[in-house]
Amino acid sequence: MRWLLERGGPIDRLSQSVLLTVPADADPARLTDALQALIDHHALLRSRLTPARELDVRPVGAVRAADLLDRYDATGDDLHAPVAEEFDRVLGLLDPAAGAMVRAVWFDAGPGRAGRLLLVVHHLAVDGVSWRILVPDLEAAWTALAQGRPAQLPPVGTSFRRWSRLLGEEARRPARVAEGDLWRRMLAAPRTSLGARALDPGRDTAATTRSLRLTLPPEVTGPLLTTVPSAFGTGTHGVLLTGLALALADRQGSGHVLVDVEGHGREELATGLDLSRTVGWFTSLYPVHLDLDGLDLADALAAGPAAEDAARRVDERLRQLPDHGLGFGLLRYLNPDTAAGLAEHPAPAVGFNYLGRFTAPADTGAWGFAPESAALGAGTDPGLAAAHALDLNAVVHDSDTGPRLVADWSWPDGVLTETEVRDLGEAWFTALTALATRAGRPADGRAETLGLSPDELSPDELDELAAGLDV
């Protein structure tokens, strides 16, 4: 959150959203009551951003769902255009300083027809994992109310308040402070400039950001989730980072690659924590120096033994980071004694975020993601400063023909060109294909695989492994 506030520019529209299919018998009273149960149960949905840069949570009942839910007459309409228009409209109603963290629109399709529910939450109160809590809770509340029962949701384990206080304490713990040397070395590592010029926060904003989507076919994506991590003794996250490091090193002409890596941030920092049902923004962001100096890049990209060496180097570097890199943010933003030293170095030019695997639900009926979800735009303010010269957001989507890796690249216009980004994106896919090819060769043609215990894998990676075993 403090990283966001330091970026520069407005943040009122910065949000995440879902568009859900609601039951054909939906009515405004029950939808309002279900939304009220959600807001009352999850504290950050009732929060506001104070001038002191704190989140103040208001009491249960202080935020009225009836004031946040609008109705749109969608009888007979093609919903794509109305959804896009309403999405843009309600973004303008978000205001974290006033406590307007949530907005919703019910698209009423008329009697006997399933409508839609647009739910928009400011990013300060939600992250990607939080939606796995909010959507089932909303459905559970609706079901209870429809059956004449009170909407009683499962309890929240560790509150976000306790978590945030724990982070402040953790940032000053001597063992955590000792991590400062590691992060300073990471930021001071050799780096190669990317793009035609340095980022200008006043010029390079969301309004000037361009994007490109590339998709990797199932025959390569499938092994990246299963056989490649198994062969190289790492996780899917490490495999994707290895491919990115190879592509950047090849294009930049330097084996030193510095990347800002985004993680889910829900780490077990103390015994007794239960964050499985806590809604909030837990995301971590940390710099990682991936050292491929001296590696035979041509051999690696041709699926030779150097591909394994690259995977090993990247995996070893990731294993050096305590708590999956959470300590960097603690020392950079929550400890005044270490913050200044870490702020001396500019952020990496490249940002990387792997969102995991999304399996399409078998039932796309009530409370599933609506088919018009593609009409939702980017929840951001046009004037928000760009965080990196190049951002890569990767996600695996299941399809009828198998899993596909979808890569969304974004960059400020004038720093890079689409031709340059497309070339790098295709180079990443080439590197990933080489890793898959190398992993698929007989064991005597590869180095001995490393052991990998389940506690070294993220929940997303465990899901991917299980899905691969099922296949």
DSSP E strands: which ranges in 202-283? 209-216, 256-263
* One domain, residues 37 and 141: yes
CA distance 300 to 204: 35
* One domain, residues 142 and 70: yes
- For residue range 218-258, what is the model confidence (pLDDT) as tens digits? 999 999 999 999 999 999 999 999 999 999 999 999 999 99
Both tokens of residue 456?
A: 């070294």
Per-residue pLDDT at 469: 37
Contacts of 363 by beta carbon, 8 Å cutoff, 6+ apart:
none
Higher pLDDT, 268 or 19: 19
* One domain, residues 178 and 274: yes
| 188 phi, psi to nearest 5 deg | -85, 0
Per-residue pLDDT at 364: 57
Question: Do the bridges between strand 69-73 and strand 102-108 make them parallel or antiparallel, or are there none, so unpaired?
Answer: parallel
Which pTM was predicted? Answer: 0.90
Per-residue pLDDT at 163: 97
- For residue range 148-165, what is the model confidence (pLDDT) as tens digits? 999 999 999 999 999 999
Task: Tell me the CATH number at 45.
Answer: 3.30.559.10
Residue 416 lies in a domain: yes
Q: Are 294 and 255 in contact (CB under 8 A)?
A: yes
Residue 119 lies in a domain: yes
Within 13 Å, how many C-alpha atoms sit on residue 187's CB side? 15
Q: Are 268 and 248 in contact (CB under 8 A)?
A: no
* One domain, residues 144 and 209: no
For the chain, the average pLDDT equals 92
Beta bridge partners of 403: 398
Per-residue pLDDT at 168: 96
Contacts of 89 by beta carbon, 8 Å cutoff, 6+ apart:
none
Higher pLDDT, 446 or 46: 46
Boundary of a domain, candidates 128, 154, 180:
154
* One domain, residues 297 and 441: yes
% helix / strand / coil in the chain, to the nearest 5? 45, 20, 35
Per-residue pLDDT at 360: 59
For the purposes of burial, counting CB atoms within 10 Å of the CB of 24, is it exposed (0-12), middle (13-18) or buried (19 or more)?
middle
Residue 102 has pLDDT above 80, yes or no: yes
Residue 370 lies in a domain: no
CA distance 37 to 66: 12
Residue 329 lies in a domain: yes
What mean pLDDT comes out for the span 189-195?
91
Residue 467 has pLDDT above 50, yes or no: no
Per-residue pLDDT at 193: 87
Per-residue pLDDT at 453: 45
Contacts of 465 by beta carbon, 8 Å cutoff, 6+ apart:
225, 226, 229, 457
Q: How many separate domains does the chain show?
A: 2
**Across 262-271, 354-363, 456-465, which has the greatest mean pLDDT?**
262-271
* One domain, residues 58 and 139: yes
What mean pLDDT comes out for the span 328-353?
96
Residue 20 lies in a domain: yes
| 426 phi, psi to nearest 5 deg | -70, -30
Residue 371 lies in a domain: no
> DSSP state, 453?
-
Residue 423 has pLDDT above 90, yes or no: yes
What mean pLDDT comes out for the span 392-410?
94
What mean pLDDT comes out for the span 28-55?
97
* One domain, residues 150 and 166: no
Element housing 141 (H / E): helix 131-146
What mean pLDDT comes out for the span 109-130?
95
Boundary of a domain, candidates 107, 131, 154:
154
What mean pLDDT comes out for the span 23-52?
96
| 386 phi, psi to nearest 5 deg | -65, 140
Q: What proportion of the chain, given as a percentage, has pLDDT over 70? A: 93
Residue 419 lies in a domain: yes
Q: Tokens 């103390």 map to which residue?
A: 270
- pLDDT level of residue 465 (50, 70, 90 thresholds): very low
What mean pLDDT comes out for the span 294-316?
97
Residue 455 has pLDDT above 80, yes or no: no
Per-residue pLDDT at 77: 73
Both tokens of residue 131?
A: 């939606």
* One domain, residues 166 and 147: no
Q: What proportion of the chain, given as a percentage, has pLDDT over 90? A: 87
Task: Tell me the CATH number at 398.
Answer: 3.30.559.30
What mean pLDDT comes out for the span 4-16?
94
Domain that holds residue 133: 2-154
* One domain, residues 150 and 183: no
* One domain, residues 146 and 227: no
* One domain, residues 144 and 246: no
* One domain, residues 142 and 192: no
CA distance 16 to 24: 25
Boundary of a domain, candidates 130, 154, 178:
154
Per-residue pLDDT at 443: 58
Residue 366 lies in a domain: no
Assign 87 to helix, strand or coil.
helix
CA distance 435 to 432: 5
Residue 259 has pLDDT above 50, yes or no: yes
Q: How many CB atoms lie within 10 A of CB 85?
A: 12
Per-residue pLDDT at 361: 53
Q: Tokens 């054909």 map to which residue?
A: 24
